[in-house]
Amino acid sequence: MSNTLSTASRPTQPGMTSCSRTQTPSQARTGKLFLTLPLGQRLPLRFVVDKRNLIVNLSLMGLLLLLTGGSLAIGSAATLSASATFEALLGQGSALDNFVVRELRLPRVVAGIVTGSAFALAGCLMQTVARNRLATPGIVGLDNGATAFAVASVIGTGISLAPPAMALTGAAVAAALTFGLTGSIGVRGYRFLVAGIGVGAVFGAITQLMLTRVSIDAANAAYPWTVGSLNARPAHAVSILSLALLPALLAAIRLTRSLTVMRLSDAVATSLGVSTSRCRLMALSVAVILTGLAVAVAGPVGMVALIGPEFARQISARNTVPVVGATLAGAIVMLAADLLGRVILAPIEVPVGIITALTGSPLLLWILLNPHTRTTP
Amino acid sequence: MTQEAFVSAPVDDDSAPDIATQGLSLAYGNVSVIEGLELRLPAGQVTAIVGPNGCGKSTLLSGLSRLLKPCAGAVLLDGADIQRVPSRQLAKRLALLPQHPHAPEALTVAELVRFGRHPHQSWLCQWSSDDKACVDEALAMTGLTTLAERPVDALSGGQRQRAWIALAIAQQTSTLLLDEPTSALDLGHQVEVYELIRSLTAAGKTIVMVIHDLVGACRYADHLIAMHQGQILAEGPPGETVTADLVRRLYGVDCTLMTDPATGAPLLTNVRRTRDALDGSAT
């Protein structure tokens, strides 16, 4: 390969080099950790880790752990002490405690973590790819598409085996429609957004139409999918989403470097060797899969896709794509909203979708109305 | 500026690559801009592509850098069709600086220049001592070492343009494609960028720049390509290529052509509208 500017062998200039040697401008105050894994010279594993993001992600992980414990301990049936919760979690508490923690609360907490993570990761990817912070799967109509298909399957078949597949199909159909109407996502992000809102409205209307045409019992069975709730969710849908989440997160982490370069511009990113259209397609596919599977579990809690990444972006290092931070923040937002919904009007439960909508709407308005916020993620 | 610093730099080991087009046709949708273009860009020299607005200069540059896929023909880099070269490989050989690039808010100069190393990095090797050396060198070449920690959007126009050129330098390609690198810059900053470009050629790089400033092109380019309506009207060394007749056919203006006593480059004076142009028949 060309090596026009090989510095190693070149005689260095006085003045200029002394300056660069003392300051090392390429690495000075970068806020990055330059890690080299000791695996020998032949296979150089060198990772660049942003210090701030590392601290942020560790803190978010701690917060998530605390919130998980809180969600397991607190509830209308019984509020347990920390040690009692832990014992019950291991199956060594009283029979009632064991039942409450392991059978009632644990599945719900797991469902909250995986759906919150999935929604927020999907949101982060989509916002980055569309270069617009409002371009979350919920706003672009994926949630509504997935919901319409899930509701159709619940009403039509009466069994809840189909929703994950149906919701996934619905999200894919909505994405394909929106994509087909605009032709692209990044170059015309604004048009993508407007077309997505339209597609979402159509699917929303279809869902409502279906609900008004069926018996009250069938409509009741389909109700959780229309508002978003973590109460008694289908276990197999949670398992499917959990299985999909890890590969999706790994894929997103792999895409992060390309996505970061794409923040410059398509022309520059292409010049730097990034296959922009392939990168977009992959990010969009991951977002569609995660959204579809998450809607199958919890219904359209799309606001998490707005709040999670926004929260992560505010605290993460600037000019990075906080994929991991957004995932953790999404889980936190979901758990916190669910806990709040369970406690605030106890013993009546407020569905998590309503809590996130109530907290998310002011955030949406703030993004839209605050002249100082950047619309590009 | 530290231009003399790298004139003595070792020239590329493998000889500078050869860029050519073969029956290249470029179009935006159904609108054909360039048809059947045959072109050869001299290696290790500064080539300036000039022509009136909408003549297809920038389109040609997009085609050369693979931003725009040809509808027919090919761009050949050392005889290989660039559409078939893996994008990362191509990015190690060919860099493009688009017109008016925009840096994300609060991105520092060093962070921007570090992006230039992207094609040389992988997920498993995200940063090496080579990368560090190249970034430091690119900053030094463009005189930005002391400004490395400044946000790009806080720089002056000339500094900003130098920062973007530094990104392309850090990419370590033998060819640089620049789309109007001096537009929107004042005279001092223009000369700064031109001299940087000259010094890059002295270090063995091939430069292809689209440019509006015909006088600057004559002064700083080794090879001039004059385009009009997607076709090449003339090409060659500026001193032999630029004639009063060519200027009239390109821009619809009459001029008196002189030779710059200081540099020997063609100099345009007394530029005025051609009477024919007023009737709309400039060519």
- Provide the CATH number for the domain around residue A168: 1.10.3470.10
Nearest CA in chain A to B138: A5
Domains of chain A: total = 1
Q: Which of B12, B90, B138 sits opposite A273 (nearest CB)?
A: B90
Whole-model pTM: value is: 0.83
B interface test, pick of A5, A23, A24, A320 with most B CB neighbours within 10 Å? A5
Higher-scoring residue by pLDDT: B127, A106? A106
Q: How much is the pLDDT for A38? A: 61
Residue A321: is it exposed, middle or buried by C-beta count within 10 angstroms (0-12/13-18/19+)?
buried
Q: Is residue A117 part of a domain?
A: yes
> Would A4 be classed as within a structural domain?
no
pLDDT above 50 for A20: no
State the best of B99, B136, B146, B173 to mutate against chain A, taking most chain A CBs within 10 Å. Answer: B136
Average pLDDT over residues A198-215: 87
The answer as to whether A313 is a domain residue is yes
* Residue A252 belongs to a domain: yes
**For chain B, which residues score pLDDT lower than 50?**
1-14, 277, 280-283
pLDDT of A125 above 70: yes
Q: Residue A373 pLDDT > 70, yes or no?
A: no
Verify whether the Cβ–Cβ distance B5 to A13 is below 8 Å: yes
The distance of A37 to chain B (nearest Cα, Å) reads 10
CB contact under 8 A, A273 and B114: no
The reply to whether A205 falls in a domain is: yes
Residues of chain A contacting residue B171, judged by C-beta atoms under 8 Å apart: 271-272
- By the 8 A CB rule, do A25 and B139 touch? yes
Which residues from A are below 8 Å from B145, CB to CB?
A: 16, 19-20, 23, 25
Domain residue limits at A281:
17-369
Give φ, ψ of A65 to 5 degrees: -65, -45
CA distance A289 to chain B (A): 24
Distance CA A37, CA A284 (A): 32
Identify whether A334 is part of a domain. Answer: yes
**Token representation of residue A34:** 């330059």
**Exposure class string for A151-169: b at 16+ Cβ within 10 A, else e:** bbbbbeeeebebbbbbbbb
Cα–Cα distance measured from residue B9 to residue B11, given in angstroms and rounded to the nearest whole number: 6
Give contacts of B110 with chain A, Cβ < 8 Å.
25-26, 28, 30
Q: With beta carbons under 8 A apart, name residues in chain A contacting B17.
A: 2
Neighboring chain A residues of B94 at a CB cutoff of 8 Å = 271
- Strand-pairing partners, residue B77, are B19, B80
Q: Give the rounded percent of residues in chain A with a pLDDT score beyond 70.
A: 83
For residue B108, give the DSSP letter.
B
Query: Is position A375 within any domain?
Result: no
Q: What's the pLDDT band for A53 if we cut at 50, 70, 90? A: confident
pLDDT-derived band of residue A290, with 50, 70 and 90 as boundaries?
A: very high
CB pairs under 8 A between A and B: 172
CA distance A31 to chain B (A): 11
Q: Is the pLDDT of residue A107 over 80?
A: yes
Indicate if the pLDDT at residue A9 is higher than 60: no
Count of other CB atoms within 10 angstroms of residue B14: 10
